[in-house]
Structure 1
């Protein structure tokens, strides 16, 4: 009997070679998703002296395909061999990222960004589907959590590493190494099985798909809309998560007013070096990493309070950066070092705004609803990332880049302070209710 029980217990995920291989490939591929970001901003914003609207459109070219083609990419991942779909996506991105080396006009960058973003979208649902093929159902929640951590960390490490590469070796080498990252990821993926490993799980998934989606395109569209609405309803019903999502989406929106126009701000400094942007982005990434590693150790404050404080910190730093450039136009080494330090503090604020929300979402989302809830959150965050640069471009064009930064800073600071005050008010109200209940019941 003991032997039978031992056989039924799945081994640790670290012994699942297919899973470890997939996560390794994902880590390298996700890193490549973000490695090129700083190089493109430096190329377009500083070397080519692009206008605020051209910089805004650069951001939109990377974000819009994620918002518009996500459902179609998911449907494709359900119909073809996921292993080869991921390898094909990596292969295409090797060529596309390599094309940035030869881009000499801004419309070349637009086209390449759109193409790369399309294949970024294809990779993610194929990877998520592959998880279900190689991980037992009992370990799926743990596997999804590990995959989410890798994805979030790549958003932190990628731009920071890209900033260091641009500062140390130049833009071209950043594109070369980015292209190489997709090559390495594609080669690693050759070692995962192409066929399903967990047969029982795959049969259940197929059975559910047929019952809910049917075999017709209209049925699949209805199922997708139904799943989307279920994700929204679940978010609204989860304690703290729905309101925290509103805070984070607003914070990302306000942050993008300024963040999307950082290159324009730096151009106000005479004789600006392209290395400064790289070091600032790297410093921001380091700050976010520090916050991510320390946020769990600070247990006295709740997740929502940490988010509010992080948002306020971002606002104070961004507003200060705008004022420094406005009152210190002839910046030298001192101003450069101060800006790098401010970006590091902004990274800490970003970490305290985002990481607690991710933890809160993981803790309160039921496992069967993970995909729908996280998909809905991703769509909302993408919408904020799209709207922010548009408003930022409008502000910079109408009033100038320094007022846009100060406006962004004020909005973020007020948003964070307001949310901390509301959260404390709710907590005091709950404590008062509990005390009154105790007096009535005599407990």
Structure 2
């Protein structure tokens, strides 16, 4: 096996272990709030606690990923998340279970994840040859997708049979294992800024990153598209659990099965994109997949049968899994290495802004307007939005 393949395999193992605990806690917290309150307002507050810290930290996280030791950034982020998760586990052990504690811990976990994500995204082009980036991203997506099949089922089982604090402790243990693997077995080459020990000038570095993003023809237009699309995605992304609880029933097994079907779709999509690689023009693959996501979301707005509903989620997951590796691989291949962290942080920032914006509209409305109708209309908007770039010939040329 080539050296870079061994290195990326070990790196993916560490990230998979970290993902295991984080995903279990994510589902557990969401279900704890959803099933415990059945309130759109509480879910909206949870979403804001997730995204507002990310909004504030994203510009700094991008600069750190471009300037500092990326491995140490990932380790620091993992340990921060593990530490606050340990705190909430201890509080729950002592039967201190106020909802505001969940919100505070969610804020700190969000900060850690915001630091972690651009560092991870910047590591791939540091190790992987350009021509293999999409396939490696497909493998990474496949691991995430497999976890989305198994972990909701595991989370649902654990949520039903053991106290929530024990689930939190699993995240602490997996974080320690992931950090140990990174420290002992993953050696990353120094990137240019790290090697030159360049001084961090936050305001100047953030300005340069933003200038690069706005002047880069492909990056700017993909970010604009993503921002508008994600505003619409807020409805199906964060109101699905409430929709299931209100339309079909508030049983935990329904939420577990929904996530398992969605994860199965993503896993199938990951296999397809890893083996196929997409059309020669990657942007055509990307936008066609997003049209399919929009059509699938329309189907979610017509929930006449639970098994039809989760089947549609499988299809949506499949096309999400096809589109994501294409996007990440394209950006990693087209962006200059010294800006990659900041570019991914801007992507994260746009997601951070767009989803809460959508939730600020859809969240309160969901207590007044039928959730299914809102999801149906958002799907129509998604499909139309994804068709428009396909008539831009100059943009499509960037897909090669």
- Quickly name the TM-score band, shorter chain normalised: 0.7 to 0.9
Q: Which residue pairs with 1:12 in the alignment?
A: 3
Structure 2 residue 55 is matched with structure 1 residue 62: no
Q: Which residue pairs with 1:438 in the alignment?
A: none
Q: Which residue pairs with 1:378 in the alignment?
A: 348
Q: How does 1:327-342 map to 2 (within 5 A)?
A: 328=304, 335-342=305-312
Deviation of 1:45 after TM superposition, in Å, equals 0.8
Work out which of the residue numbers 217, 231, 234 in structure 1 matches 2:213: 231
TM-score, with structure 1 as normaliser: 0.72
Q: How many equivalent residue pairs?
A: 385
Aligned to 1:323, the other structure's residue is in SS state: coil
TM-score, with structure 2 as normaliser: 0.79
In structure 2, C-alpha distance between the alignment counterparts of 1:247 and 1:293, rounded to whole Å: 26
Structure 2 residue 295 is matched with structure 1 residue 306: no
Deviation of 1:266 after TM superposition, in Å, equals 1.2
Aligned to 2:37, the other structure's residue is in SS state: coil
Contact 2:231 2:357 in 1 (8 A): yes
Deviation of 1:300 after TM superposition, in Å, equals 5.0
In structure 2, C-alpha distance between the alignment counterparts of 1:138 and 1:114, rounded to whole Å: 32
User: Cα gap change, 1:319/1:83 in structure 2, threshold over 3 Å: closer, same or farther?
Assistant: closer
Aligned to 1:191, the other structure's residue is in SS state: helix
Structure 2 residue 259 is matched with structure 1 residue 281: yes
Contact 1:258 1:392 in 2 (8 A): no
Q: Which has the higher contact order (CA 8 A, sep 6+)?
A: 2
Q: Which residue pairs with 2:113 in the alignment?
A: 120
In structure 2, C-alpha distance between the alignment counterparts of 1:111 and 1:378, rounded to whole Å: 21
User: Cα gap change, 1:248/1:165 in structure 2, threshold over 3 Å: closer, same or farther?
Assistant: same
Contact 1:38 1:278 in 2 (8 A): no
In structure 2, C-alpha distance between the alignment counterparts of 1:258 and 1:265, rounded to whole Å: 9
Deviation of 1:228 after TM superposition, in Å, equals 2.6
In structure 1, C-alpha distance between the alignment counterparts of 2:24 and 2:12, rounded to whole Å: 18
User: Cα gap change, 1:124/1:305 in structure 2, threshold over 3 Å: closer, same or farther?
Assistant: closer
CA offset digits 1:276-335 (Å, max 9, x no partner): 1111112112212222322362755743333333223223332322322xxx4xxxxxx3
Work out which of the residue numbers 1, 11, 15 in structure 2 matches 1:26: 15
In structure 1, C-alpha distance between the alignment counterparts of 2:68 and 2:323, rounded to whole Å: 38
CA RMSD of aligned residues (A): 3.8
Contact 1:98 1:175 in 2 (8 A): yes
In structure 2, C-alpha distance between the alignment counterparts of 1:81 and 1:312, rounded to whole Å: 39
Note the residue ranges of structure 2 that are not aligned, 5 or more in a row: none
Which one has the largest radius of gyration? 1
In structure 2, C-alpha distance between the alignment counterparts of 1:80 and 1:367, rounded to whole Å: 13
Deviation of 1:163 after TM superposition, in Å, equals 1.2
In structure 2, C-alpha distance between the alignment counterparts of 1:74 and 1:111, rounded to whole Å: 24
Structure 2 residue 178 is matched with structure 1 residue 189: no
Q: How does 1:33-432 map to 2 (within 5 A)?
A: 33-46=22-35, 48-73=36-61, 86-98=74-86, 102=92, 104-124=97-117, 152=141, 155-170=144-159, 172=164, 174-192=167-185, 201=190, 205=194, 207=196, 209-210=198-199, 213=200, 219-234=201-216, 236=217, 238=218, 241-269=219-247, 271-295=249-273, 297=276, 299-300=278-279, 302-324=281-303, 328=304, 335-420=305-390, 422=391, 426=393
In structure 1, C-alpha distance between the alignment counterparts of 2:262 and 2:50, rounded to whole Å: 21
Contact 1:310 1:349 in 2 (8 A): yes
> Structure 1 residues 117-126 or 392-401, which shifts more?
117-126
In structure 2, C-alpha distance between the alignment counterparts of 1:83 and 1:188, rounded to whole Å: 11
Contact 2:134 2:277 in 1 (8 A): no
Deviation of 1:58 after TM superposition, in Å, equals 0.8
Contact 1:164 1:278 in 2 (8 A): yes
Contact 1:161 1:282 in 2 (8 A): yes
